Amino acid sequence: MISRSVKDLRRFMLIALVEGISYLLLLCIAMPLKYYADMPGFVKYLGWAHGVLFVL
């Protein structure tokens, strides 16, 4: 049986991985689309998702 602390660590690692991916998507996809293609919508939604994941 896996202890509670190991489960918590795995959950933290998963959330950290997803948060890191959201940060990379924000920087590498959403920001260039905002400034080069004049499409600011992606920054709004990816930024919101990244913020929620960061707070978790």
Q: If pLDDT is split at 50, 70 and 90, which confidence band does 25 have?
A: very high
Q: Give 36 or 4, the one with higher predicted confidence.
A: 36
How many degrees, rounded to 5, is the angle at CA 43 between CA 40 and CA 16? 170
pLDDT digits (tens, 9 = 90+) for 34-54: 999 998 888 988 889 888 888
**3-state DSSP assignment of residue 52:** helix
Task: Identify whether 50 is part of a domain.
Answer: yes
The verdict on residue 44 lying in a domain is yes
Answer for the pair 22, 50: CB distance below 8 angstroms, yes or no: yes
Tokens of 55: 């707070």
Domains in the chain, number: 1
Q: What domain range includes position 26? A: 15-55
pLDDT category at 1 given cuts 50, 70, 90 is: low
Contact 22, 49 (CB under 8 A): yes
